[in-house]
């Protein structure tokens, strides 16, 4: 209808009316585009809020897993450090306890630490990362992705060549099959048979005298130490991200850090 009126005004040479009608058309188109932009921006903010909420929940879950992982790694490290002075002849020889021997025998075991934030991977794979407008959160997520890549690369390197001490030094660590006993709590029972468990026994004198064993044992220790360091740093990244997300979302959940 507007175009028809413009045509009529042109034929009648009513230029003022033509200008008015033209302005109305331009303003109408502009307002329509502006409303469309506002609507798209509103949808993106809703989507951003949903992504941040999911990211917050996943960060809390991963933080809990990291804290449990770190607790386990530190317990292993403390047990091994307690026997180090005996193995390296800095203290008088003594019998190595079953717990100490089991940890020496399994010092090559490196479980891949959890580090996934599924919503982050989803955003990166679908190109939705730029939906996020908060610069602090984007910087922290980018930093975490870089750190995660380093951690995964180190894990591949650490597990490339494993020193299974009980296999490489069978005269120093003898694995036997013994009755489990009442109240036994342990992990090395797979395929040992009902009521039985695998029981490693360490010969401390032979261990102290074997340079090859001690060298490979130290290698395993250093890998555990590096895993602890990566886990601590990963937890720092996640703690910072959790705090920022909680502030943006107005959340108050707090996870207690281990001592």
What tokens does 17 get? 């009316």
Are 187 and 180 in contact, with CB atoms under 8 Å apart?
no
- From the number of C-beta atoms within 10 Å of its C-beta (0-12, 13-18, 19+), residue 133 rates as exposed
Rounded to an integer, what distance in angstroms lies between the CA atom of residue 223 and that of residue 228?
9
**pLDDT per position in the chain (259 positions), as tens?**
555 554 554 455 555 555 655 566 666 666 666 655 555 655 666 778 899 999 999 999 999 999 999 999 999 999 999 999 999 999 999 999 989 999 999 999 988 889 999 999 999 999 888 888 889 999 999 999 999 999 999 999 888 888 999 999 999 999 999 998 766 666 778 888 888 989 999 999 999 999 999 999 999 999 999 999 999 999 999 999 999 999 989 876 544 444 4
How much of the chain is helix, strand and coil, in % rounded to 5?
70, 5, 25
Under 8 Å between Cβ of 136 and 247:
no
Secondary structure (3-state) at 16 = helix
Please give the model's pTM, rounded to 2 decimal places. 0.78
Task: Strands of the chain (E only): list them.
Answer: 173-179, 196-202
For the segment 88-136, what is each residue's pLDDT rounded down to a tens digit? 999 999 999 989 999 999 999 988 889 999 999 999 999 888 888 889 9
Is 152 buried (19+), middle (13-18) or exposed (0-12) by CB count in 10 A?
middle
Q: Alpha-carbon distance 117 to 1, whole Å?
A: 55
- Contact indicator for 210, 165 with CB cutoff of 8 Å: no
CB atoms within 10 A of CB 176: 10
Token pair of 221, please? 């220790």
| DSSP secondary structure code for residue 258 in this structure | P
Which run of H or E residues covers position 10?
Answer: helix 2-11
Measured distance CA(107)–CA(217) in Å, rounded: 8
Judge whether 140 and 244 are in contact, CB under 8 Å: yes
DSSP β-ladder status, 173-179 and 196-202: antiparallel
- Give residue limits of the domains in the chain: 2-249
Residue 230 to residue 117: CA distance in whole angstroms? 17
- Three-state DSSP class for 45? helix
Asked if 148 and 115 touch (Cβ cutoff 8 Å), the reply is: yes
């Amino acid at each position: 209808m507007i175009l028809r009126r413009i045509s009529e005004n042109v034929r009648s040479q009513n230029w003022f009316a033509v200008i008015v009608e033209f302005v109305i058309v331009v303003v109408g188109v502009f307002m329509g585009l502006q409303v469309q932009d506002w609507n798209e921006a509103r949808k993106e903010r809703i989507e951003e809020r949903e992504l941040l909420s999911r990211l917050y929940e996943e960060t809390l879950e991963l933080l809990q897993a990291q804290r449990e992982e770190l607790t386990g790694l530190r317990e292993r490290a403390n047990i091994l450090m307690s026997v180090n002075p005996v193995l390296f002849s800095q203290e008088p020889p003594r019998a190595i306890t079953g717990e100490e021997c089991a940890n020496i025998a399994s010092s090559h075991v490196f479980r891949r630490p959890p580090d996934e934030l599924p919503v982050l991977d989803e955003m990166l794979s679908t190109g939705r990362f730029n939906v996020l407008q908060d610069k602090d959160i984007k910087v922290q997520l980018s930093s975490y992705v870089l750190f995660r890549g380093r951690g995964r690369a180190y894990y591949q390197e650490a597990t490339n060549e494993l020193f299974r001490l009980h296999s490489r030094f069978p005269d120093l660590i003898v694995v036997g099959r013994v009755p489990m006993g009442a109240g036994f709590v342990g992990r090395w029972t797979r395929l040992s048979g009902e009521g039985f468990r695998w029981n490693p026994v360490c010969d401390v004198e032979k261990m102290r005298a074997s340079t090859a064993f001690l060298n490979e044992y130290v290698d395993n220790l250093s890998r555990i130490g590096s895993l602890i360091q990566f886990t601590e740093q990963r937890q720092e990244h996640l703690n910072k991200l959790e705090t920022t997300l909680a502030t943006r979302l107005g959340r108050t959940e707090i996870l207690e850090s281990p001592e």
